[in-house]
Amino acid sequence: MLQVYEHLALPEAAYLGKRVYKKLFFENAELSAADRRAFTDDVETVTWQYTLKPSTLPVSVYQDDERDYSELAVIEVELRDAKRAQRLAEIIHRAIPYPLLLILMQSNGLVVSTAHKRASRAERGAVVAEEIQTTAWMDHEAPEAIEQAFLQSLTLRQQPQSHYYALYDGWHQRLLALACARLNGTFRVPSRPEQQKQRRETLTECHRLEGEISRLRAEIKKETRFNRQVEVNTRIKQLEQQLQLATAGL
């Protein structure tokens, strides 16, 4: 059993262990040719491991005009190739209308992914996946310290249980906390909604700055004009300072 399931400690009544066939994704999801190829080439198996609902876990459902959190699913995906894991996570979140705790695995590697779900405002009956969070690859047999803290934090008894939306958001916040910990070295889950919102916005800004720094570093390697090299290098240093300040705010 993967270490992540030991930490989740889900009730035995919620176990399903049912295989989901690829053709269901091809029939029910709008996949580009590249997405179909990724699914065909990279995915070995998809297994619906657990279903959390009132009959398997006594937590109240959550429903409003946009969200229906009456059932949560834990889906495991065994991959042949890991290079398109993040894209495959997005495909699966968008193909299955339930909120998913998605676990992708290959060899000793493990990725966890979450995404909130809401009703589409543009298409009646459609469900939209938003705020998709996917971890970097972890060695599930020998995780780093912050990864171990993350895995330990996933346990069901540590999640809010006022209703299923709160429970799922507890997992979602822990993925955000791991992303922040990779930048500042400290795994911490804020409890207040305003702190969570601010942290999410700051993390988005950190990722934007990282992307811009990477782009400029690639540019400077190709640049032959000395003046332009100096200009780009100065800009990189400015962005690195901004990233350092932003990271301190996480």
Instruction: Name the residue type at position 154.
Output: L
Q: Where are the domains of the chain?
A: 3-189, 198-248
Q: Which residue has the tokens 């979140």?
A: 93
Return the closest-CA partner of residue 46 out of 80, 13, 1.
80
- What is the overall mean pLDDT for the chain? 91
Q: How far apart are CA 196 and CA 190, in angstroms?
A: 6
Count the neighbouring beta carbons within 10 Å of the beta carbon of residue 99. 29
In tens, the pLDDT along 172-222 reads 999 999 999 999 888 988 877 777 788 888 888 988 999 999 999 999 899
In tens, the pLDDT along 18-62 reads 999 988 888 877 788 888 898 899 999 999 999 999 999 999 999
H-run or E-run covering 188:
none
Q: Which two tokens stand for residue 65?
A: 């005009």
What mean pLDDT is predicted for residues 110-133? 88
Q: Are 68 and 50 in contact (CB under 8 A)?
A: no
In tens, the pLDDT along 65-113 reads 899 999 999 999 999 988 899 999 999 998 898 999 999 999 889 999 9
What is the structure's pLDDT at 1? Answer: 54
Q: How far apart are CA 158 and CA 85, in angstroms?
A: 28
Q: How far apart are CA 43 and CA 81, in angstroms?
A: 7
Q: Are 86 and 134 in contact (CB under 8 A)?
A: yes
pTM here is 0.87
Q: Which residue has the tokens 């996946």?
A: 129
